[in-house]
Amino acid sequence: MSPVPLFATSLEEQHERLLEALARAVRGERFILGPEVHAFEEEFARYLGVRHCVGVANGTDALAIALRALGVRAGDEVVVPSFTFYATAEAVAAIGARPVFCDVDPETFCVTRATVEEALTPGTKAVVPVHLFGNVAPVPELRDLGVPVLEDAAQAAGASVGNAKAGALGDAATFSFFPSKNLPCMGDGGAVVTNDDEVAARARALRFHGSKDKATFVEVGYNSRLDELQAAALRVLLPELDAWNARRRAAARAYEREGLAQYAAPPRAVKGAEHVYHLYVVRHERPDELAAALAERGVGARGYYRTPVHRQPGMADFVNPVDLPGTEECARTNLALPMGTLLTREHVSEVVRALAPLP
Ligand SMILES: *Cc1c(COP(=O)(O)O)cnc(C)c1O
């Protein structure tokens, strides 16, 4: 049996075209907010079906900038899930606002209208649903609550609901192009997207020190731009995204066909969502024993967010008003199995065979 890595991806097929694109950017010598960034912003906005894309330095800055562009200020409350990567809540705290953690549905790993509603107060100024692991949180139901919705779409580039892409569903959305994400770059990169002209203009100013004209500085902002070289790379990789996601979905279907459900609870898409399986995360009562047994058989597996964000030391200032039983269950039982654009049917049956003899 050959080993099966947890992340079965590579950019090898794109190396030549990436090098050409980088050479073009080097020869252009416009390294800050040059033509590659402008072109990528247009191409990504068109891909998502939104009016504006603002390229920033990473997905964490994207969240902070988008929250401020939506009008969130120091002291405001922002509802976020606790079962997510730390950055979702970190960005809220970084702008002086207060993260209020809401629960998730353990079947989908995403927030629901009911879990968000439970955490709302008159002080809530935004909600940040996370499209976790490539699923799509139920944004239309959240928009009915009357609070601005910022989608954290870092893990869900290319996911969709009907004809609408994740990232085009809320008042604004953020993306990360960290190398492990579904749409990667070759280092750090991120974006804020929105249909709102005002929000886009504020995000553009915030990424450049709070200035629109580089002469007058109207707020304390950030130095946070998408890098020109990364934008050149992203223009090569964006056209691959749909085919890559199709391969991830095919691998997910293969897991089900091979009978994974006999051994662990498979991931479930939110109703109507086209999941893009950033990670393929199952649930099991003894996930760490399972991971150890898989490791002996050469199969990569890993539990995510075992300590949910609300229990991280960095969040100790924020005593949470609601209980989070779904979050605790997800944190305790989840296990990511191998996934990626290069995961073959043979790999998948190998993983399921490795699960079979376990208790
Ligand atoms: C990766 C990620 C981020 C942060 O993105 P960076 O580019 O690493 O700053 C934020 N939220 C979620 C859900 C993520 O997965």
Q: Which atom of ligand 1 is nearest to the CA of 188?
A: 7
CA gap 55, 34 in Å, rounded: 11
With left for phi above 0 and alpha for psi between -120 and 50, is residue 37 left, alpha or beta? alpha
Structural domains in the chain, CATH included, are: 12-239 (3.40.640.10), 241-355 (3.90.1150.10)
* Tens digits of residue pLDDT in 41-79: 999 999 999 999 999 999 999 999 999 999 999 999 999
CA gap 301, 10 in Å, rounded: 18
| Alpha-carbon 312 to chain mean position | 20
> How many whole angstroms from 2 Cα to the centroid of ligand 1?
31
CA gap 204, 77 in Å, rounded: 24
Q: Which atom of ligand 1 is nearest to the CA of 189?
A: 7
* Tens digits of residue pLDDT in 166-190: 999 999 999 999 999 999 999 999 9
Reported confidence tier of residue 2, pLDDT bands at 50, 70, 90:
confident
Q: Flag whether pLDDT at 358 surpasses 80.
A: no
pLDDT value at position 210? 98
Q: Flag whether pLDDT at 246 surpasses 70.
A: yes
155 pocket-lining for ligand 1 (C-beta < 6 Å):
yes
* Tens digits of residue pLDDT in 287-298: 999 999 999 999
The amino acid sitting at 158 is G
Residue nearest to atom 7 of ligand 1 (CA): 59
Residue nearest to atom 5 of ligand 1 (CA): 59
pLDDT value at position 1? 67
Residue nearest to atom 3 of ligand 1 (CA): 59
3-state secondary structure of 342: coil
Average pLDDT over residues 89-108: 98
Residue nearest to atom 6 of ligand 1 (CA): 59
Q: Count other Cβ atoms within 10 Å, centred on residue 157.
A: 28
Q: Count other Cβ atoms within 10 Å, centred on residue 317.
A: 8
Q: Flag whether pLDDT at 5 surpasses 90.
A: yes
CA gap 44, 197 in Å, rounded: 16
Average pLDDT over residues 13-19: 98
Reported confidence tier of residue 159, pLDDT bands at 50, 70, 90:
very high
333 pocket-lining for ligand 1 (C-beta < 6 Å):
no
> How many whole angstroms from 13 Cα to the centroid of ligand 1?
25
Average pLDDT over residues 195-208: 98
Give the percent of the chain with pLDDT over 70: 99
pLDDT value at position 94? 98
Q: Flag whether pLDDT at 137 surpasses 60.
A: yes
Q: Which atom of ligand 1 is nearest to the CA of 60?
A: 9
The DSSP code for 95 is: T
Q: Flag whether pLDDT at 259 surpasses 60.
A: yes
Greatest extent of the chain over all pairs of C-alpha atoms, in Å: 67
> How many whole angstroms from 176 Cα to the centroid of ligand 1?
6
pLDDT value at position 359? 57
| Structural contact between residues 103 and 209, judged by C-beta atoms closer than 8 angstroms | no
| Structural contact between residues 326 and 103, judged by C-beta atoms closer than 8 angstroms | yes
Reported confidence tier of residue 356, pLDDT bands at 50, 70, 90:
confident
pLDDT value at position 68? 98
pLDDT value at position 32? 97
Average pLDDT over residues 329-356: 96
The β-bridge relationship of strands 150-152 and 172-176 is parallel
* Tens digits of residue pLDDT in 208-238: 999 999 999 999 999 999 999 999 999 999 9
Spatial neighbors of 156 by CB under 8 A, at least 6 apart, are 131, 134, 135, 136, 166, 167, 182, 276, 278
Average pLDDT over residues 312-328: 96
What values do phi and psi take at 7, rounded to 5? Answer: -105, 100
> How many whole angstroms from 57 Cα to the centroid of ligand 1?
11
176 pocket-lining for ligand 1 (C-beta < 6 Å):
yes
pLDDT value at position 168? 98
pLDDT, averaged across the chain: 97
| Structural contact between residues 183 and 234, judged by C-beta atoms closer than 8 angstroms | yes
* Contacts of the segment 329-333: beta carbons below 8 A, 24+ positions apart: 329/106, 330/83, 330/104, 330/106, 330/109, 330/283, 330/305, 331/83, 331/305, 331/306, 331/307, 332/287, 332/306, 333/106, 333/283, 333/284, 333/285, 333/287
